[in-house]
Structure 1
């Protein structure tokens, strides 16, 4: 979970180029759901200065308030969102829906069907939402810090994954028992939330631009070792730890299975969308290119820069094990490339394939194409 340390240097003034970097970085973080505050901006600006060094014996001055005065649009976005409220039952007068409301409802129905088919979980009454500092909020997902713990919860009516004991909670305990991969200690969980240890640090997405080359190399080597530990854990079926089916993340995240064989999994994965049923032979060709001989291994399923916490140039936690479970050995390769390649091709993206002992480039191309149409 992102750490917001206060600056230990004297106030610093960035060059125009550095200031643009800080502004763009803060905007990208906020767009990704991170609640950016002054301390976090100071942290990044300070490290930009350290990275670039002192020029001509001049230590530049930086004042975060002055910086925000020059960027009022960014300053307005620093306000943390208010905690959500439980929705009250609609009255008869409220049954009329605007076109936008109907569209949202239809999207919600489509998302529910993609995850649960014709058998969604029954509605539940959530416990009160936890109080604390909101440090991340994106769509219906919230992360709230309270002291040395954080609670990840959702306002989605079916909870994190529709089960009483979320898959992420099971995965945290499984990883603690079977690997040396650093993950937060699980405190408690319920159908719509997971409370865990707060980990001091920054996400790799936040820290990558200001890491030294040696730190970057060390982090990639660490990550490669952690991925190797996961891939050494073999399975006999395809699905998540809590007994639910596999997850295919995307604009419309879908779930299917569990599956007993790779053939069953691929037949389900490569189903043509309704709009492309007439091109079924085309989709059949994709199926024939996906080998059914891949081993089944334990997989995180969402290795991305936002889910890797670093501190002092080292990985201190891997987060977001919600999709974790048993998948084809190529699955982690596909979604790790998708999660890390979109950061910076020159300094990170082109090195991601080296995290794996074997490349799965054909599977990467095919699965990415399937995701683009389904």
Structure 2
């Protein structure tokens, strides 16, 4: 949150302090007064929806224009490991992963180390998926969970974007594909994603293949 507040105009909670006590880490932060964007969304008129989504789009574009660090390291804001409970893991501790020296190392992790092998009888869908994974994408700073639950509004203004624990430097498609991993509380949100993020249908199909064969929690 400090990283974002120092580099953008995106509204995030002000961090007052952070500390570790009894092996648990705590953050004391400002409380932002607002409602989740999904509250009453289906009853909101189209003009109001368009205003909010336009403002959200501008904020995300500003974030994605933060210059990437030198190299192609996939990492958190401070260059360390990342966290995402939607990726496979056998314990809470193992839900941390990385950092990775490049996109291909990251992709290898996502597919459990499996490489393309013409002598193996992989399903053709898996073979195509591994080939797609071999492509290159620019690094962009990514929130990683642009759910309607994490966007706070008052009226037609966005007053906060919260829950940055999944953020970091990722391939440019990661923001789009993770936004599509909505939960039952905000299933309507899939109809709005293309209005504030650049549609990347090929990458979305690629990521759905990964989820199909390599699983999510």
State the TM-score, normalized to the length of structure 1: 0.47
Bigger CA radius of gyration: 1
For the 8 Å contact 2:82–2:99, the answer to whether it is kept is yes
Q: Which of residues 310, 319, 328 in structure 1 aligns to 2:162?
A: 319
1:369 aligns with 2:198: no
Higher RCO by CA contacts (8 Å cutoff, separation 6 or greater): 2
CA offsets, 1:66-120, max 9 Å, x none? xxxxxxxxxxxxxxxxxxxxxxxxxxxxxxxxxxxxxxxxxxxxxxxxxxxxxxx
1:255 correspondence with 2:96: yes
Work out whether 1:214 is the aligned partner of 2:47.
yes
Any residues of structure 2 matched to 1:144-223 within 5 Å, and which? 172-191=1-20, 192-223=25-56
Residues 215, 314 of structure 1: 8 Å contact kept: no
1:355 and 1:328 map into 2 onto residues whose CA distance is: 18
Unaligned ranges ≥5, structure 2: 90-94, 115-119
Q: Tell me how far apart the structure 2 counterparts of residues 231 and 341 of structure 1 sit (CA, whole Å).
A: 28
Residues 340 and 352 in structure 1, CA contact (< 8 A), matched pair in contact too: no
Question: Closer, same or farther in 2 for the Cα pair 1:227/1:211, shift >3 Å?
Answer: same
Q: Which of the pair is proportionally richer in helix?
A: 1
The Cα RMSD (Å) is 2.6
2:138 match: 295
Checking the alignment, whether the CA contact within 8 Å between 1:303 and 1:340 is kept in structure 2 is: no
Q: Deviations over 1:149-204 (max 9, x none)?
A: xxxxxxxxxxxxxxxxxxxxxxx111111111011111111242211111111111
Match of 1:308 among 151, 164, 168: 151
Partner-residue secondary structure (3-state), 2:128: helix
Rounded Cα–Cα distance in structure 1 between residues aligned with 2:174 and 2:121: 24
| Residue aligning to 1:351 | 192
Whole-Å separation in 2 of the counterparts to 1:207 and 1:339: 17
CA distance in 1, matches of 2:35, 2:128: 43
Please point out which of 239, 244, 249 is paired with 2:75.
239
Number of matched pairs: 195
**Partner of residue 35, structure 1:** none
Structure 2 counterparts to residues 38-187 of structure 1, below 5 A: 172-187=1-16
Secondary structure, aligned partner of 2:182: helix
- 1:264 to partner: Cα distance: 1.2
| TM-score, L = length of structure 2 | 0.79
Give yes or no for contact 1:188–1:195 (8 Å, CA) kept in 2: yes
Gaps of 5+ in 1: 1-171, 274-278
